[in-house]
Amino acid sequence: MNKIYCIYGASGHSKVIVEILEKSGCIIKGLYDDDPKKRLLFDYSVSNQASMLMLQNVNWIIGIGDNAIRKKIADQNTLHFGTAIDKSSNISKRAQIGKGSVVMPGVSINSSVIIGEHTIINTNSSIDHDCFIDDYTHISPNATLCGGVRVGKGTHIGAGAVIIPGIRIGNWSNIGAGTVIIKDVPDFVTVVGNPGRLIK
């Protein structure tokens, strides 16, 4: 396994990724950000030179929390993407995690879960058996997905949200913090409250 990494982006999200990689004994070669004002993150240099994106034999992680921006960067670059999985997470040997995805501290991912590409599974969230999480999603801290939940591409599940078993959530939707989802959610909507109600 190649343990040499670069991170695309130098924001707060990148800080957590840096620490996940450090704990795993990975070598962080540097960070790239197109903002020339960003020069340093912790003790790591930040470059805005496009030539850095041509580095060979490194794994890249996109350290940006916005789902749409993460997708745009992944679509526009032919980088080799790795994964960043915190050592404190509890992941079933029968779970699958796609390239570019990040699993934060304290996460539980149970049997037969499929996690797509460039997905964020954030701190202390719980993904139960047979869930499917599509690409470019963000499962926020302390969110709970019960068994057999399907989450569409680009969707954001807010902090502390609860999704009951068997629910289907559409693409590019937003589930508010603390929301309890008890029925299926369509594409491109925002749902908040307990029980969840569609607001736009």
pLDDT at 1: 47
The CATH number of 86-192 is which of 3.40.50.1980, 3.40.50.2000, 2.160.10.10, 3.40.190.10?
2.160.10.10
Give the residues of the chain that fall short of pLDDT 70: 1-2
Catalytic residue among 13, 118, 129, 156: 129
Could you tell me the residue ranges of all domains in the chain?
4-76, 86-192
Q: Residue 161 has what pLDDT?
A: 98
Separation CA 72–CA 168 (nearest Å): 25
Domain 4-76 has CATH 3.40.50.1970: no
Residue 158: what pLDDT? 98
Tokens of 156: 């954001």
Residue 19's closest CA among 86, 97, 102, 103?
Answer: 86
Q: Establish whether 129 is a catalytic residue.
A: yes
pLDDT number for residue 2: 66
